[in-house]
Amino acid sequence: MSVYEKHRDTLETNETMLGPARGRLAVALDLLTDALALVGQHGVYCQSARFPGRPTMDIALVLEQIGDAKELVQGVIELRQDGHEERNVSNDDAKFTKRPSDPSGER
């Protein structure tokens, strides 16, 4: 079963409210949030022997990576919402930085 079939109702609702791209990103963000919660719960039971009260290193890394992915998805949603979507960027580094707005209105 594909992701589109599994999450059909949620996708349909979010795509109707936010448009196809932002709706799918919103669903992806929800799925990442759910994964973060599940891994966090697992981290309660798998604690580090060296650092009591903290999750094991592998769980800590998974939590960090999911958190980073959520932040990136949120950034894309905000870019699309503000209408600042970059197109035809040739420099790979440039697509990860936000351009300052030019007071004259020119780019």
Phi, psi of 46 (to 5 degrees): -110, 80
pLDDT tens column, 52-76: 888 888 888 999 999 999 999 999 8
* pLDDT at 84 (0 to 100): 60
pLDDT in tens, 5-50: 999 999 999 999 999 999 999 999 999 999 999 998 888 888 888 8
- Whether the per-residue pLDDT at 94 is higher than 50: the answer is no
pTM higher than 0.85:
no
Please state, in angstroms and rounded to a whole number, the distance separating the CA atoms of residues 40 and 34.
10
Type of residue found at 39: V
